[in-house]
Amino acid sequence: MSDRWQYLIVLGLCLAITVPLEFLGAGVYRQPWRLVRAVLPVALVFLAWDAVAIAAGVWTYNGDYITGIRLPFRLPLEEALFFVVIPVCALLTYNAVNAILDRRKRR
């Protein structure tokens, strides 16, 4: 398989290993509207930062490890997904930690 899938595969693995956390507590995917309202505004700000950084040459992406699909402002598709995947993983972690701490408190 081509190395160009690397960045996407890393993001896919992050999503895959955090799936079980959904089943602790009230979940994240089960509150889709709350999820969108937490992730979307932050993602837009960070995407703007990213676009400026790319335009200013602060960082670039290695064409060997990305699909090459570019969004407006030369943003790689993977980079946009990053700002959804990582926040979702963090929310799932926070959801699970809260559930575990609450359960211990009730005992």
Partner 1 sequence: MSGVGYTVPAIVAVLAVCALELTLLHTGLFRRPAYWLSMVIVLGFQVPVDGWLTKRSAPVVIYNEGQTSGVRFPFDIPIEDFLFGFALVTAVLLLWEQQRG
> In whole angstroms, how close is the CB of 105 to partner 1 at the nearest point?
11
Q: Is 53 in the site for partner 1 (CB under 8 A)?
A: yes
Q: Is 105 in the site for partner 1 (CB under 8 A)?
A: no
> In whole angstroms, how close is the CB of 74 to partner 1 at the nearest point?
14
As beta bridge partners, residue 76 has: 70
Residues 6+ apart with CB under 8 A from 28: 21, 22, 35, 88, 91, 92, 95
- CA dihedral of residues 64, 65, 70, 72 (deg, nearest 10): -110
> In whole angstroms, how close is the CB of 72 to partner 1 at the nearest point?
19
- Residue 2: left (phi > 0), alpha (psi -120 to 50), or beta? beta
Q: Which residue's CB is nearer to partner 1, number 39 or number 72? A: 39
One of 24, 51, 81, 86 touching partner 1 (CB under 8 A): 86
Neighbour tally for 70: CB within 10 Å: 13
Binding interface with partner 1 (CB under 8 A): 6-7, 10, 14, 34-35, 37-39, 41-42, 45-46, 49, 53, 56-62, 64-66, 83, 86-87, 89-91, 93-94, 97-98, 101
